[in-house]
Structure 1
Amino acid sequence: MDAKCSQTHEEILSSLTLRYPELVSCDTEVRFVVELLAECFRKGGKLLVCGNGGSAADSEHVVGELVKSFRFKRSVDGAFLEAYREINGEEAPSWLEGALPAISLVSQTAFTTAFSNDEAAVGVFSQQVYCYGAPGDVLLAISCSGNSANVVEAAKVARARGVKVVGLTGYKESDLSRRSDVCIRVPRNETFQVQELHLPVYHCLCAAVEAEFFGGGE
């Protein structure tokens, strides 16, 4: 974690387009997604994330920034600290941090290999979304082309489960962008260049949402 961040939610959002002017075309969508995620977490929902290859690594990265502290020091809920003290007869460990619930669907190796072998590789993320997804949750579906079949199928299941779909793609319209509640289409189409712009976008999303819940906290 960096030294404690003092930026506000708005400063974090504004800094994205200051550092990456080409992402001004995504500003409206980025702001919308931040509010969508904040609403999801406020209501006790969770974020599911999936993608292939480099986007699978990005899925893990996103979850890492949400489940532990990213740029802000995160306090643990006071009611939990009281319950821990009462049940265990001691103070909660100092290394516990506030968390934002997120699950990477790419990391469950035993399940994904079994399902791919027994059923259909195209359905690995869909089955997990069906299992974990609930109304009010959000699926962040990452695909540089926007046409990755297993990611698109996950989006289909998500919408049927009442899960909001956020697409993160390249600039071209795609199957995923058409099936998303909101799609952040970065202004590139070649895979590695799309991935280079996905990183600052999801860092901004994570930092801005973190600021909503932990900004100003000790």
Structure 2
Amino acid sequence: MKKKQFNATQIFELLFKRYPDLLRCEEDIMSSYKMLKQAYGENNKLLVAGNGGSASDSEHIVGELMKSFLFNRRIEEKYEKRLFDLYGEAGKEISQKLEGSLCSIPLTSMPALSTAFLNDVDPTLTFAQMLYGYGVEGDVFLGISTSGNSKNIINALMVAKAKNIKTIGLTGKSGGKMKDLCDITICVPEDETFMIQELHLPIYHALCAMLEADFFTEK
């Protein structure tokens, strides 16, 4: 049963109790959390992208942020009232079923746009094009690349910097080229792709859970 039982600090501490190898990433994970919290507090959004398994991680992250994760989130009271004022009991029923949401967009989820651009222009600039179109100053771009060298992620990071979009990289031990382009780079202590991905999941779960704990009350 979903229930709000941990605050952000407790979730952060639990991450390292379960995955002590990630202690070397502690500062970067906390900095990423603070960056995301600030962005959401200022009504900005998160954009996420990766390739292969990291594309799946991008979708996973957005799924945890756009709806309830560890507990059932209440929507803002002003929208509960507005729905009731407009539609009475029907509006009340809608508001009771809606869940609090943190705006996030997976750049991996738009096949018509992405295939048109990669066919007509350049496949390595597809994420960059989407970031250029969707991103505004103050947003955060999370680029996921196990090597840290994925060309389409690197290009997107360059566009992000040009647009004053904040950047977080989630990658492996070396950091790759991503390390020099990101505001924050979380380099998990593994070299093998599948082992890197296995450590990415608890990190982004913790970040999503911490943000949820900060921004929402329980239904």
Residue matched to 1:121: 123
State the superposition RMSD in angstroms: 1.1
Cα distance in 2 between the residues matched to 1:131 and 1:83: 31
Which residue identity is paired with 2:24?
A: S
- 1:158-191 CA deviation, whole Å, 9 max, x = no partner? 1111110000000103111110000000000110
Partner of 1:21: 20
TM-aligned CA deviation for residue 11 of structure 1:
0.6
Kept in 1, the 8 Å contact 2:3–2:218? The answer is: no
Instruction: Please state whether the residue corresponding to 2:142 is helix, strand or coil.
Output: strand
1:184 match:
186
The TM-score, its normalising length taken from structure 2, stands at 0.96
Q: Which amino acid aligns with 2:156?
A: A
Q: Kindly provide the amino acid, as one letter, of the partner of residue 87 in structure 2.
A: N
Gaps of 5+ in 2: none
- Give the aligned partner of residue 158 of structure 2: 156
SS at match of 2:74: coil
Name 1:66's counterpart in structure 2.
65
Identify the range of structure 1 (115-124 vs 169-178) with the bigger mean alpha-carbon deviation: 169-178
* Alignment-derived partner of residue 101 in structure 2: 99
- CA shift, 1:59, in A, is 0.2
TM-score scaled by length of structure 1: 0.96
Equivalent in the alignment of 1:209:
211
One-letter amino acid of the counterpart of residue 79, structure 1: K
Is 1:44 the counterpart of 2:46? The answer is no
* Aligned partners of 2:48 and 2:107 also within 8 Å: yes
Query: Post-superposition shift, 1:72?
Result: 2.3
C-alpha deviations, 1:57-96, integer Å up to 9, x for none? Answer: 0000000000000012211111111222223343331210
Unpaired runs of at least 5, structure 1: none
CA distance in structure 2 between the aligned counterparts of 1:181 and 1:125, rounded to whole angstroms:
18
Are residues 1:146 and 2:148 paired? yes
| CA–CA separation in structure 2 for the residues paired with 1:81 and 1:145 | 45
Structure 2 residue matching 1:37: 3-state secondary structure: helix
Deviation at 1:192, TM superposition (A): 0.6
Q: Which residue is equivalent to 1:77?
A: 76
Q: What is the identity percentage for the equivalent residue pairs of Structure 1 and Structure 2?
A: 44
Provide the C-alpha distance between the structure 1 equivalents of 2:165 and 2:63, rounded to a whole number of angstroms: 21
The answer to whether the aligner puts 1:110 opposite 2:109 as a matched pair is no
Superposed structure 1 runs of 4+ greater than 4 Å apart:
none
Counterpart secondary structure, 2:168:
strand
The structural deviation recorded for 1:26 is 0.6
Secondary structure at 1:168 match in 2: strand
